[in-house]
Structure 1
């Protein structure tokens, strides 16, 4: 039963042993010509407002002392990629790439490694000082160094697992309820449809929230190494 449920996340569609499911990440390229219009449409104006808001918020998180031109673009791009893939996974028969660790970890791990390399090469004293929180008693300093080191190492894993787990959980719940449609009473069908609609609305909110959380946490991690 559980194997059949999780099989909906398997990239099984293929031609000549080449998986077609990952091509769902390229569907958004069909929408790109809208941005190139001479007169911006409503979607372009809305997206520009979102980018400006994100830029201002990420700039505050990084800190004006260390902000440089274009430093927030990488986090805005990460937010855009994750949100796009999350939303595409809500459409029927489209592969949810962000439910796989190979996708989420490939986003989180390079970001974290780049922050760590930059911090330990350029600000090694700051990185060592960050291992001991301010006000820690002397007797607890060795223990706090171990705790801070472990919490720092598991950061890319927590980013990746949080995103993948939230995508898997919502899709599994919708799949479970959808499979019961053929076996429940006809009088309960409107209730099932209502629950499914509410779940889709919830998953749409989760798609935005999880991409925002991923981008914000990445920004906070980058602010700790400067």
Structure 2
């Protein structure tokens, strides 16, 4: 029995009193190795095509300043995408719907960018806080605004991912719980609506992983 609406995001899954909820965060890794053991197939060709497109796009955003750094953001995209898709299956814990995972990822990336930027490009980081052409009287306010907007970046990345994952799952759960006392002729429409919502959630899983990786790339390009 569900005691809380949000308890669907924290199911009690244990064997021998060992919590197995967070094992879903590494289940996506099981889908990766098989292209290395088998001949290239459609899945491998499609995934290779996506990775090449992402590599070219990230390389355009980063320029030639950080060679090889595109693989960091491709790995981030793949990790979030696998976890988002796994959360769409029944009885699988959605780890990206928790700030524990999303905030850890965004905060780690943001701290890495900030430490790298302030150590290696200190003058550029100071210049970036004051846009060109700012009047002298507005400079203190611009520094304050830029500092606040920079500090809240990891929080906005984490909340964006978490909120989008929670919203769709909550809507699917509310619709499924309302089907208990529903006439049979309305169940058909409910099933169709849930199929459409599940399709939308699949698109959201891809879009959110892409948005997080693109924003992380843009944030990293500002420290050079």
- The aligned residue for residue 51 of structure 1 is 51
Give the equivalent residue in structure 2 for 1:167.
165
Question: Which residue does the alignment assign to 1:176?
Answer: 174
Paired residue secondary structure (2:26): helix
SS at the partner of 1:133? coil
Please tell me whether the aligned partners of residues 28 and 79 of structure 2 are also in contact (alpha carbons under 8 angstroms). Answer: no
1:156–1:23 distance in 2 versus 1, CA, 3 Å: same
Unaligned runs of 5+ in 2: none
Q: Which runs of no fewer than 5 residues in structure 1 stay unpaired? A: none
Q: Is this contact kept in 2: 1:11–1:19, CA < 8 A?
A: no
Runs of 4+ in 1 over 3 A off after TM superposition: none
Aligned residue among 183, 186, 192 for 1:185: 183
- TM-aligned CA deviation for residue 131 of structure 1: 0.6
Question: Cα distance, 1:11 vs. partner?
Answer: 4.3
Of 11-20 and 76-85, more deviation after overlay is shown by: 11-20
Size of the aligned set, in residue pairs, is 223
CA RMSD of aligned residues (A): 1.5
- For residue 113 of structure 1, what is the aligned residue in structure 2? 111
**Further displaced range: 175-184 or 13-22:** 13-22
The TM-score with structure 1 as length reference comes to: 0.94
2:18: which partner in 1?
18
The answer to whether the aligner puts 1:124 opposite 2:122 as a matched pair is yes
User: Residue 71 of structure 2 aligns with which residue?
Assistant: 73
**Is residue 2:103 matched to residue 1:136?**
no
- 1:86-97 maps to which residues of 2 (within 5 A)? 86-97=84-95
What CA distance in whole angstroms lies between the structure 1 residues aligned with 2:180 and 2:38?
A: 50
